[in-house]
Amino acid sequence: MNQFAIAIHGGAGTILKKDITSSQEAAYIKGLEEALQAGYAILEKGGTALAAITAATLSLEDCSLFNAGKGSVFTKTGTHEMDAAIMDGKTLGAGAVAGVNSVKNPVELAIAIMQKSEHVLLSGDGALQFAIQQGLKIEDETYFFSQFRYDQWQLVKNEDTVALDHNIHVEKKFGTVGAVACDAFGNLAAATSTGGMTNKNYNRIGDTPIIGAGTYANNQTCAISCTGHGELFLKAVAAYDVSCLMEYKGMTLQEAMEMVTLNKLVKINGEGGMVGADAKGNTALVFNSEGMYRAMQNSKGEKQIAIYR
């Protein structure tokens, strides 16, 4: 039996301890703990990496603290546009959705696209129609409303700028959630989900739903889920670059993730981070920002839940 492991994230950025109350910190830790346990419990019972990352990502999407699913931020027009992606490292099967609204759990739509369509990426109204056709849970706008997100949007809605998740005067956080896992059979999988940037305009899409940029999995190398300034992660093809460094340069997971996150992205001012797993059950959680909501657990008994550096 292979060592199995899971790693998750709930966003990265300028997350300073002085800006978060002890009760807020406890709430984030609880959200991460619940998602970690949802995924790890599946691996522990011999379940697949794909099932584990799905469970973990669903948990994060259902927690309003994180910018995905229920906690998604407001767009320029006061609506919600969500992106998500999933990839199976065993088959290289992938599914992704961009700019969709009303779908309670975008990661489930990404799975449906991977398993029940001939496509990889669907967007907008077409993606919503496919979700309805597949019987996925649809919610009205009130489900996605939170006073916290609304207040954020009010601060910038009359400006011609986008804002990164959370209070823009205090905290610069890239709100995305994601999970990677290696199961007992050595199979890898990755998932990422986001509500994007507060006040985003023109149906902006970041790296999350782009296979190879924000999400990637291949049993021969790694599973990666990114969180950061999407435009820069897109330009860097960040997730796939980690895989390439492992495949062609023979780097370890940790070495490859550090090369991309702490070197290549830094050179182009790409702030953020990523979580990764390899087929031996190793995990890595690397970021170049002040903090990253993150957690990991493996069958060796190692476990970590953290926010700051």
Q: Which two tokens stand for residue 275?
A: 């979580």
Q: Which residues contact 190 (CB under 8 A, 6 or more apart)?
A: 53, 86, 87, 89, 178, 179, 180, 215, 216, 217, 223, 224, 225, 239
Nearest CA to 67 out of 53, 80, 48, 54 is that of 80
Cα–Cα separations (whole angstroms), residue 296 to 70, 78, 284, 299: 23, 35, 9, 11
Exposed, middle or buried by CB within 10 Å (0-12, 13-18, 19+), for 231?
A: middle
- Of these residues, 48, 54, 75, 176, which one is catalytic? 176
Is residue 252 within 8 Å of 277, Cβ to Cβ? Answer: no
Size of the chain in residues: 309
Partners of 181 in beta bridges: 6, 189
Alpha helices in 10-64 (DSSP H): 22-44, 49-61
25: phi > 0 → left, psi -120 to 50 → alpha, else beta; which?
Answer: alpha
Say whether 208 sits in a helix, a strand or coil: coil
Contacts of 231 (CB under 8 A, 6+ apart): 206, 207
Active site residue 176: yes
Q: Using the 8-state DSSP alphabet, how is residue 263 labeled?
A: I
Closest CA to 284 of 246, 249, 247: 246
Q: From residue 55, how far is each of 38, 58, 107, 189, 262 by CA, in Å? A: 6, 5, 10, 12, 29
Catalytic sites, residue numbers: 176
